[in-house]
Structure 1
Amino acid sequence: MRILLESFVAALLLIIQTTNAHSFDDIAVSFCCPREQVIKNGECTDMTTAELNELHYSVNVTRHNGSLVKKFLVQQWATSMSCETAKMMYMDNQTKLYGYKLFEDGTLLRLWDNVEMSQWEYCIQPQLVKDGSIRIVPHICKPSKTGQTAVMIVSMTCLVLTISVYLLVRKLRTLVGKCFICYMACLFLAYLFLLFDLWGISKDFCKTAGFLGYFFVLAAFCWLNALSLNLYNKLRGTPSKHRFSVYNIFAWGCAALLTGATFLANRFVKINDLNPRVGEDGNCWINCQDWSGMLYLYGPILLIVELNVFLFIMTVIHIRMKRNVENNRKEDLEPIMGGSVSILRIFTIMGISWIFEVGSYLVQGNKYWEDVFLAADYFNWSQGTIIFVLFVLNGSTLRLLKKSFTGESEIPEKKTKNYQRI
Structure 2
Amino acid sequence: MLIHVISGRRIKVVCETSYSASSGPAEQSSQRSRSKVTILLLEMRATLYWIPLWSLLLVGIAADISDCDFFDTVDLTHSFKFANGSYRYEDLIIPARLTGEYDYKILDGGTREEVSRHVRGCICKLRPCIRLCCHHKKLMSSTECSEEVDEGLTYNYALNITLPNGNVTEKYIMNDMIVQQDLPMPCQIHYHLDAEQYAEDKWTLFENSTLLRHYDNAFLYKQDYCLQPTKSKSGEGYSVVPYNCVIQPSMTMAYVKLASVVFMAMTIGIYSWLPLFHTVHGQCCILYFVSLMATFLLNVASTFGVFVNDLMCLVNGYAGYYAAMATFLWLSVISFDVWRRFGLHQNREFCRSMGYRFLHYNLIVWSIAGILTLGVLVVDLLFPYSGDSDSNFVPAVGVTSCWIMTDGWSGMFYFYGPIFLLILMNGVMFYLTIRNIRAEKKLRTKVIRKCDEKETSRLSANFGLYVYLFVIMGGCWILEIMAFICETKKFLMPFTKANDLINCSQGIIIFLLTICNKEVLKTIRDRIQPKRTSGIEFETCTMTQDCHLMHQLS
TM over 0.5: yes
Residues 77 and 49 of structure 1, relative CA distance in 2, 3 Å threshold: closer
Partner residue, 2:95: none
Question: How far off is 1:136 after superposition?
Answer: 5.4
Alignment partner of 1:162 is 2:264:
no
**Which has the larger displacement, 353-362 or 392-401?**
353-362
* 3-state SS, counterpart of residue 242 of structure 2: strand
Alignment partner of 1:226 is 2:226:
no
> In the alignment, is the contact (CA less than 8 A) between 1:37 and 1:46 conserved in 2?
yes
* 3-state SS, counterpart of residue 149 of structure 2: helix
Q: What pairs up with 1:11-22 in 2 under 5 angstroms?
A: none
Residues 420 and 288 of structure 1, relative CA distance in 2, 3 Å threshold: closer
Alignment partner of 1:28 is 2:129:
yes
Name the CA distance, whole Å, in 2 between partners of 1:223 and 1:68: 57
Residues 406 and 58 of structure 1, relative CA distance in 2, 3 Å threshold: farther
Alignment partner of 1:248 is 2:362:
yes
Residues 171 and 136 of structure 1, relative CA distance in 2, 3 Å threshold: same
Which of 489, 492, 500 is the equivalent residue of 1:377? 500
Which of 433, 441, 444 is the equivalent residue of 1:323? 441
Q: Which residue identity is paired with 1:317? A: R
* 3-state SS, counterpart of residue 284 of structure 1: coil
Which of 258, 262, 266 is the equivalent residue of 2:380? 266
Which whole-Å deviations, capped at 9, do the CAs of 1:385-405 have from their partners, x for residues lacking one?
110111111111111112222
Which of 46, 50, 63 is the equivalent residue of 2:149? 50
Residues 337 and 97 of structure 1, relative CA distance in 2, 3 Å threshold: farther
* 3-state SS, counterpart of residue 103 of structure 1: strand
> In the alignment, is the contact (CA less than 8 A) between 1:107 and 1:116 conserved in 2?
no
Partner residue, 1:18: none
Residues 200 and 134 of structure 1, relative CA distance in 2, 3 Å threshold: farther
Q: Which residue identity is paired with 1:48? A: E
Q: Which residue identity is paired with 1:272? A: S
Alignment partner of 1:102 is 2:236:
no
Residues 118 and 256 of structure 1, relative CA distance in 2, 3 Å threshold: same
Question: How far off is 1:343 after superposition?
Answer: 3.3
> In the alignment, is the contact (CA less than 8 A) between 2:466 and 2:549 conserved in 1?
no
Partner residue, 1:359: 482
> In the alignment, is the contact (CA less than 8 A) between 1:353 and 1:377 conserved in 2?
no
Question: How far off is 1:323 after superposition?
Answer: 0.7
Partner residue, 1:19: none
* 3-state SS, counterpart of residue 421 of structure 1: coil
Partner residue, 2:279: 174
Partner residue, 2:414: 296
Question: How far off is 1:210 after superposition?
Answer: 0.8
Name the CA distance, whole Å, in 1 between partners of 2:192 and 2:532: 65
Partner residue, 1:276: 395
Question: How far off is 1:377 after superposition?
Answer: 0.8
Residues 278 and 399 of structure 1, relative CA distance in 2, 3 Å threshold: same
Partner residue, 1:124: 226
> In the alignment, is the contact (CA less than 8 A) between 1:225 and 1:307 conserved in 2?
yes
Partner residue, 1:8: none
Name the CA distance, whole Å, in 1 between partners of 2:445 and 2:270: 39
Which whole-Å deviations, capped at 9, do the CAs of 1:240-292 have from their partners, x for residues lacking one?
23111111112112211211222222222473112111122x42211112211
> In the alignment, is the contact (CA less than 8 A) between 2:462 and 2:551 conserved in 1?
yes
**Which has the larger displacement, 115-124 or 370-379?**
115-124
Question: How far off is 1:332 after superposition?
Answer: 3.8
Name the CA distance, whole Å, in 2 between partners of 1:371 and 1:353: 16
> In the alignment, is the contact (CA less than 8 A) between 1:175 and 1:244 conserved in 2?
yes
Name the CA distance, whole Å, in 1 between partners of 2:129 and 2:360: 65
Q: Which residue identity is paired with 1:102? A: T
Residues 40 and 268 of structure 1, relative CA distance in 2, 3 Å threshold: closer
Residues 123 and 397 of structure 1, relative CA distance in 2, 3 Å threshold: same
Name the CA distance, whole Å, in 1 between partners of 2:461 and 2:213: 49
> In the alignment, is the contact (CA less than 8 A) between 1:29 and 1:77 conserved in 2?
yes
RMSD: 4.1
Partner residue, 2:77: none
Name the CA distance, whole Å, in 1 between partners of 2:488 and 2:203: 14
Instruction: State TM-score, norm by structure 2.
Output: 0.60
Choose between structure 1 and 2: higher helix proportion.
Answer: 1
**Which has the larger displacement, 160-169 or 282-291?**
282-291
In structure 2, runs of 5+ residues without a counterpart are 1-126, 232-237, 385-389
Name the CA distance, whole Å, in 2 between partners of 1:303 and 1:408: 48
Residues 274 and 404 of structure 1, relative CA distance in 2, 3 Å threshold: same
Question: How far off is 1:128 after superposition?
Answer: 11
Which whole-Å deviations, capped at 9, do the CAs of 1:83-110 have from their partners, x for residues lacking one?
9734x64443177597241234455343
